[in-house]
Amino acid sequence: KKTYGLAEALKKLGVKDHNGGTSTGSNWMEGSGKISSVSPVDGQEIASVGVTTAEDYEKTIQTAEEAFKTWSNMPAPARGEIVRQFGNRLRELKDPLGRLVSYEMGKSLQEGWGEVQEMIDICDFGVGLSRQLYGLTIKSERPDHSMQEQWHPLGITAIISAFNFPVAVWSWNTALAWVCGNVTVWKPSEKAPLTGVACQNIIAEVLKENDMPEGISCLVNGDYKVGEMMTKDSRIPLVSATGSIRMGKIVGQEVASRLGKSILELGGNNAMIISKEADLKMTLIGAVFGAVGTAGQRCTSTRRLIIHEDIYDELIDKMKNAYAQLSIGNPLDEKNHVGPVIDKDSVSNYLKAIEKAKAEGGKVLVEGGVLEGEGYESGCYVKPAIIEAENHFEIVQEETFAPILYVMKYSGDVENAIALQNGVKQGLSSAIMTNNMQEAHRYLSSKGSDCGIANVNIGTSGAEIGGAFGGEKETGGGRESGSDAWKAYMRRQTNTLNYGNSLPLAQGIKFDI
């Protein structure tokens, strides 16, 4: 496969040539004002996009509604065929798109490619799904009656995505929404708008080659005000939002106030429990990748290690050694493990969190800090830190989107560790490292982890697309991606069909006229 230089990649994806403007379905619109995308890798402005105005938005929704008529009428497998072609385009463009992801938001190139791989995987899943979307047949209580349950398209699906997985989370939503017969309107993060433009360019080409309206996939750009246009719009039956708990509460309430549906995938405060019967070699890889991958900016990042007291010192030593081997720097350089965080606000949140942890009594085991000097000019490179802390600390209870890992001890049974793990408001991902079968099963039982994702001998991050992705409590309860998450993108219809010559009423009710 061809690999690209950065400049060439930007050109190939059509993000550098166009000077502002948002693709809103069938047209490129200039919008008003602009959002400039500044790379945290080198602090350079890459390009900018226009902000969607109320007028642009109106045209977008009309374009989407028009496209829905064509799209929802097509057989689902024919929609799957478009998704198949999109997946193939992504295979061809995995290198440049992964590079753009890495350059625009700072994750390592390996992870940038991994993110595009998730897009390809969900397309494959969507293609298979397009020949399924199974309903049920149900036995009727009445003679000569049959019952069934079918799934129909909903309409427009709005997608609000975050900077940390700027393209994969969109694709989880779109691949499913599209095969389900919906059209999509996407507001990418203002911190990574160019990956949005790149994806729009790719799908637009596929749609054009197939003589399909581009309004099947629409893009809007802007901050929360553009998000609000969507959450308040009753022409949009479903809003899928990924981001902070604060954002999710607003979106959830606005959509609920018009009785719309939402899928919320919000913050995590993911813990790994390390039993005294854990394989420490596996633990080390899982814990370090979980804590520093994507510079600690995954929803699934490992934020807490809950370690059995018998192996605490040994594991902490190993963690310190491993952290000392990490190379931090330009994520496009494959020898680096850790790139920058997204921007300077994020750096300042990272610094404040470390200060707060110390003030609450935390003990720094691996020192953090902002890197300076050659290669670090953007000011967004920080050192992954490890802090010994207690679960009840306010700062430990919060999700800080940065590479800070809190470690704590437990003693006695695994129940004690589970109580600590579950003792936070969030409930996204979780893991236990153990070779003890009883502990593992207990962890997965109803009395175990309270999270949407619970793993054994695997870290908290890096879920495959085949499972439903999302979590409980303040994580918002939504599920995206695999399993039967597609059902949230459709409306369920119960049909009762009478093939007899009389009309008996249900529940035996007599009504003669």
Is 77 one of the binding residues for ligand UN1 (CB under 6 A)?
A: no
CA distance 108 to 295: 9
Least Å from the CB of residue 368 to ligand UN1: 21
d(CA 62, CA 180): 20
Give the x/- contact pattern for ligand UN1 in 196-235, rule: CB under 6 A. Answer: ----------------------------------------
**Which C-beta is closer to ligand UN1: that of 71 or that of 165?**
165
Q: Is 462 a residue that touches ligand UN1 (CB under 6 A)?
A: yes
Nearest partner of 461 among 305, 264, 322, 298, judged by Cα = 298
Sign of CA dihedral 407, 322, 349, 114: negative
Which region among 182-190, 330-338, 370-378, 456-464 touches ligand UN1 (by CB under 6 A)?
456-464
125 binds ligand UN1 (CB under 6 A): no
Q: Does 298 bind ligand UN1 (CB under 6 A)?
A: yes
Q: How far is the CB of 294 from ligand UN1 (least distance, A)?
A: 7
Task: Rule CB under 6 A: choose which of 299, 315, 332, 408 binds ligand UN1.
Answer: 299
Among 169, 204, 207, 432, binds ligand UN1 (CB under 6 A): 169
Residue nearer to ligand UN1 on the CB measure, 221 or 460:
460
Out of 123, 299, 380, 451, the active site residue is: 299
Take residue 438 and report the two structure tokens written for it: 């009883």
Residue (of 201, 150, 203, 194) closest to 174 by Cα position: 203
Per CB under 6 A, the segment of 80-88, 339-347, 461-469, 482-490 that binds ligand UN1 is 461-469
- Per CB under 6 A, does 172 bind ligand UN1? no
Q: In the structure encoding, which two tokens stand for residue 24, read together? A: 């809103």
- In the residue annotation, 399 being an active-site residue is answered as no
Q: Which is nearer to ligand UN1, 71 or 170 (CB)?
A: 170
Task: Tell me, residue by residue from 15 to 34, as one string, x for binding to ligand UN1 by CB under 6 A and - for no binding.
Answer: --------------------
- How far CA 200 is from CA of 167, 390, 442, in Å, comes to 10, 45, 45
Structure tokens at 183: 């059209």
Q: Smallest distance, Å, CB 145 to ligand UN1?
A: 45
| Main-chain dihedrals φ then ψ at residue 256, nearest 5 degrees | -65, -30
Binding positions for ligand UN1, 401-430, rule CB under 6 A: none
CB 233 within 8 A of CB 251: no
Beta-carbon contacts of 310 under 8 Å, excluding residues fewer than 6 positions away, are 276
CB of 337: closest distance to ligand UN1 in angstroms? 16
Helix (H) or strand (E) holding 27: strand 27-29
165 touching ligand UN1, by CB under 6 A: yes
Closest distance to ligand UN1 from the beta carbon of 82 (Å)? 24
Which residue of 53, 171, 221, 242 would you call a contact of ligand UN1, by CB under 6 A? 242
Considering the complex, state which of residue 112 and residue 153 has its C-beta at the smaller distance from ligand UN1.
112
Query: Which is the catalytic residue, given 118, 265, 399, 480?
Result: 265
> What is the DSSP code string of 322-366?
HHHH--BS-TTSTT-SB---S-HHHHHHHHHHHHHHHHTT-EEEE
Contact region with ligand UN1 (CB under 6 A), list: 21-29, 145-153, 271-279, 455-463: 455-463
Question: By CB under 6 A, what part of segment 328-387 binds ligand UN1?
Answer: none
In whole angstroms, how far apart are CA 511 and each of 11, 70, 141, 339, 376? 72, 43, 17, 73, 81
300 binds ligand UN1 (CB under 6 A): yes
Burial of 26 (0-12, 13-18, 19+ CB in 10 A): middle
Nearest to 162 by CA among 349, 14, 257, 294: 294
C-alpha 219/C-alpha 23 separation (Å) is: 6
Smallest distance, Å, CB 484 to ligand UN1?
Answer: 18
Instruction: Look at the chain and count its residues.
Output: 513
Catalytic, 299? Answer yes
Among 231, 430, 461, 475, binds ligand UN1 (CB under 6 A): 461
Residue 233: both structure tokens together:
């719009």
Least distance (Å) between residue 470 CB and ligand UN1:
10
Q: Which stretch binds ligand UN1 (CB under 6 A): 27-35, 173-181, 293-301, 334-342?
A: 293-301
- Of 99-118, binders to ligand UN1 (CB under 6 A) are 118
Nearer to ligand UN1, 182 or 300 (CB): 300
For ligand UN1 (CB under 6 A), the number of binding residues is 11
**Which CA distances in Å does 218 have to 14, 60, 259, 322, 372?**
16, 7, 23, 44, 40
> Is there binding between residue 164 and ligand UN1 (CB under 6 A)?
yes
Which residue in 163, 208, 181 sits closest to 299, CA to CA?
163
Directed axis angle between helix 193-209 and helix 94-105, to 10°?
A: 160
Q: What residues form DSSP beta bridges with 366?
A: 386
- Distance from the Cα of residue 471 to its chain's centroid: 11
Task: Kindly state the smallest distance separating residue 453's Cβ from ligand UN1, in Å.
Answer: 8
Question: Is residue 463 at the binding interface for ligand UN1, with CB under 6 A as the rule?
Answer: yes
DSSP code, position 244: -
Minimum CB distance to ligand UN1, residue 372 (Å): 28
- For ligand UN1, the closer of residues 290 and 448 by Cβ is 290
- Measuring CA to CA, which residue among 6, 15, 482 is closest to residue 202? 15
* Least distance to ligand UN1, CB of residue 282, Å: 17
Active site residues: 265, 299
Which residues of the chain form contacts with ligand UN1 (CB under 6 A)?
Answer: 118, 164-165, 169, 242, 298-300, 461-463
